[in-house]
Amino acid sequence: MEKDAISPRATRWAVLFDWDGVLVDSSRQHEESWHRLAREEGLPLFPGFFLQTFGMKNEWIMPQILHWTKDPEEITRLALRKEVLFREIVAETGITLCPGAWEWGQWLASHAVPTAIASSTQRANIDLVLEKLALRALFPTIVAAEDVSRGKPDPEVFLVAADRLGVPPHRCVVFEDAPAGVEAGKRAGMKVVALMTTRAPKMLREADRLIADLGASTPSEIERWLFP
């Protein structure tokens, strides 16, 4: 696998961001896309499903948690349709960054810190928002749902991202908002900072550090914590 070129001074640490709920405030749009899909297909959703599943791959949610179907072709069809609906909602209502996301992106880029988005969402969703919010230059490396075969809490997405950046896992810090993502980061052998943007602190207690959102800390603070 070809690695992204980085300068020698940039290898001290790397930052791996989850996407939804960490960089972009997309929970409302995702939840509405699930409801639209369920109405279209006449399929059930149980109370609290979204909080339980946000951050997981559709291909896991549908057969294992919602129990809609175990047919691979049907799962693929429903998963793709769900994300089309998400993008339609974003086009209708817009979308915003989470607090601190822009400032973090600028600082990391200006200090040549290797940075990647490592997410269970589809690449088309990420591309749409990066273009709409003019963020492409700040986050050039993306590992999305299509790039891995196993979703979080499996660590694959973070290990692939670290490999593409050419930084060993123990030098990476993961920013996550979901318990499955926290577990994935820890299983990858990385430090994990959990953001309380979509979950209560008790759901994120396995993380190495808890903060309200990216705006509640700075890259310099995190670097000092990683390398005292």
Q: pTM value?
A: 0.85
d(CA 204, CA 208): 9
Task: Give yes or no for a contact between 182 and 190, defined as CB atoms under 8 angstroms apart.
Answer: no
What is the structure's pLDDT at 8?
A: 39
pLDDT band at 155 (very low <50, low <70, confident <90, very high): very high
Residue 226 has pLDDT above 90, yes or no: no
> Which structure tokens are listed for 99?
């607090």
Residue 217 has pLDDT above 70, yes or no: yes
What is the rounded average pLDDT of the residues 59-71? Answer: 95
The 3 state secondary structure assigned to 52-116 is HHCCCCHHHHHHHHCCCCCCHHHHHHHHHHHHHHHHHHHHHHCCEECCCHHHHHHHHHHCCCCEE
Residue 5 has pLDDT above 70, yes or no: no
pLDDT band at 54 (very low <50, low <70, confident <90, very high): confident
pLDDT band at 6 (very low <50, low <70, confident <90, very high): very low
Residue 1 has pLDDT above 70, yes or no: no
Residue-wise pLDDT tens digits, 94-128: 999 999 999 999 999 999 999 999 998 899 999 99
Residue-wise pLDDT tens digits, 185-215: 999 999 999 999 988 899 999 999 999 999 9
Is residue 227 classed as helix, strand or coil in its secondary structure?
Answer: coil
Query: Residue 24 gets which letter from DSSP?
Result: E
Identify each DSSP E strand in the chain by its residue range.
Answer: 14-17, 24-25, 96-97, 115-118, 141-143, 172-176, 191-195, 209-211
Residue 222 has pLDDT above 70, yes or no: yes
What is the structure's pLDDT at 11?
A: 61
